[in-house]
Amino acid sequence: MAIIEVNLPSGCTFDPETLNALSNVTHFRRQELKHQNKKLDIYFDFIPKEPETCIYVEAMR
């Protein structure tokens, strides 16, 4: 399992639409919002070397 952590500065929130789109990323397992929705943990079964795995998460003020 592989985990990517994304932390936001104060005053920002994650865009729900881009969070929903994460389920379309290859090998995506689940996501968890923590610390009053300021930290996002994205879990993958694994992240292969090829092809590159890219994620897109948008934040709003």
Q: Is 19 left (phi over 0), alpha (psi -120 to 50) or beta?
A: alpha
- Structure confidence at residue 27 as a pLDDT band (50, 70, 90): very high
Residue 52 has pLDDT above 90, yes or no: no
- Structure confidence at residue 46 as a pLDDT band (50, 70, 90): very high
**What length does the chain have?**
61
* Residue range of the domain that includes 53: 2-60
End-to-end Cα, the chain, rounded Å:
31
Residue 51 has pLDDT above 90, yes or no: no
Count structural domains, the chain. 1
What integer pLDDT is reported at residue 29 of this predicted model?
96
Is the separation of the CB atoms in 56 and 6 below 8 Å? Answer: no
What gap in Å lies between CA 19 and CA 50, rounded to an integer?
Answer: 24
pTM, whole model, 2 decimals?
A: 0.85
